[in-house]
Chain A
Amino acid sequence: DAKTTQPTSMDCAEGRAANLPCNHSTISGNEYVYWYRQIHSQGPQYIIHGLKNNETNEMASLIITEDRKSSTLILPHATLRDTAVYYCIVRVGQGGKLIFGQGTELSVKP
């Protein structure tokens, strides 16, 4: 599975959009981009995933560049409860394993 690179930490003001970048320059054509987050002492929570088109759900939007080498997770109106470690993972859609990197620690501040 392709490796991903994320910033170690980011801050965001409450109510503003949080934009979390992820680089995955070695992604293969059949690999999806997944985003999970982990709030302290809990199991990871699925956020969103995509292959090449931008995706949006009730939690977030996922923007994937045309060359698929990077993506951005957007939390449109961050709240204090969005403070967590966010993991960007690439894997084959069916059958692949989710291998976690170090993620981005997002701190949403009042």
Chain B
Amino acid sequence: GAVVSQHPSWVICKSGTSVKIECRSLDFQATTMFWYRQFPKQSLMLMATSNEGSKATYEQGVEKDKFLINHASLTLSTLTVTSAHPEDSSFYICSARDTGRQETQYFGPGTRLLVL
């Protein structure tokens, strides 16, 4: 199946700093990518939809100024958690939709963020 990678796989940072997470589609082009967040023992929550070359669309309740999303190419989207706080500690997962097969969407392995 198609491969989506994320980097880093885990990160620890101090409160108040910013953290950037990369999401890449390795063997397909992805016009659309998605960012999810998952807290322990909960399901995935969609944060935003990222479209190549345009602004991301955020779900209700997600602060766009805190979670900056950039989708500059057909294979790369980045999520920057700005001024991170302990409550931002979570498992962040990206997903990419295959441009050539719109009904298919693949997920990355996730990035575990711990804010101290």
Instruction: Write the residues of chain A forming the contact surface with B, with a CB cutoff of 8 angstroms.
Output: 32, 36, 38, 41-46, 49, 87, 93-95, 97-103
Q: Is the CB of A97 within 8 A of B34?
A: yes
Residue with the greatest number of chain A CB neighbours at <10 A, chosen from B1, B107, B108, B112? B107
Interface size class of B (residues with CB under 8 A): 20 to 34
Q: Which residue of B lies closest to A99 (CB)?
A: B46
Q: Which of chain B's residues have a CB closer than 8 A to the CB of A49?
A: 103-104
Q: Is the CB of A41 within 8 A of B110?
A: yes
The B interface is mostly helix, strand or loop, or mixed, namely strand
Q: Is the CB of B107 within 8 A of A94?
A: no
Given the contacts A43-B109, A44-B93, A100 and B44 also touching, CB distance less than 8 Å: yes
B105 at the interface (CB under 8 A from A): yes
Please give the distance in Å from A9's CB to the nearest CB on chain B: 13
Please give the distance in Å from B103's CB to the nearest CB on chain A: 4
B77 at the interface (CB under 8 A from A): no
Given contacts A98-B105, A100-B46, 5 further A-B contacts (CB under 8 A): A32-B103, A41-B91, A41-B110, A44-B93, A44-B95
Query: How many A-B Cβ pairs are below 8 Å?
Result: 50
Q: Mark B83-105, 1 if CB is under 8 A from A, else 0.
A: 00000000101010000001111
Given the contacts A97-B49, A99-B46, A103-B43, A46 and B104 also touching, CB distance less than 8 Å: yes
Q: Mark B1-45, 1 if CB is under 8 A from A, else 0.
A: 100101000000000000000000000000000101000000111
Contacts A/B (CB < 8 Å), 30 sampled: A32-B103, A41-B91, A41-B110, A41-B112, A43-B4, A43-B107, A43-B108, A43-B109, A43-B110, A44-B44, A44-B93, A44-B107, A45-B107, A46-B1, A46-B105, A46-B107, A49-B103, A49-B104, A87-B43, A93-B102, A93-B103, A94-B102, A95-B102, A97-B34, A98-B95, A98-B105, A100-B44, A100-B45, A100-B46, A102-B43
Please give the distance in Å from A44's CB to the nearest CB on chain B: 5
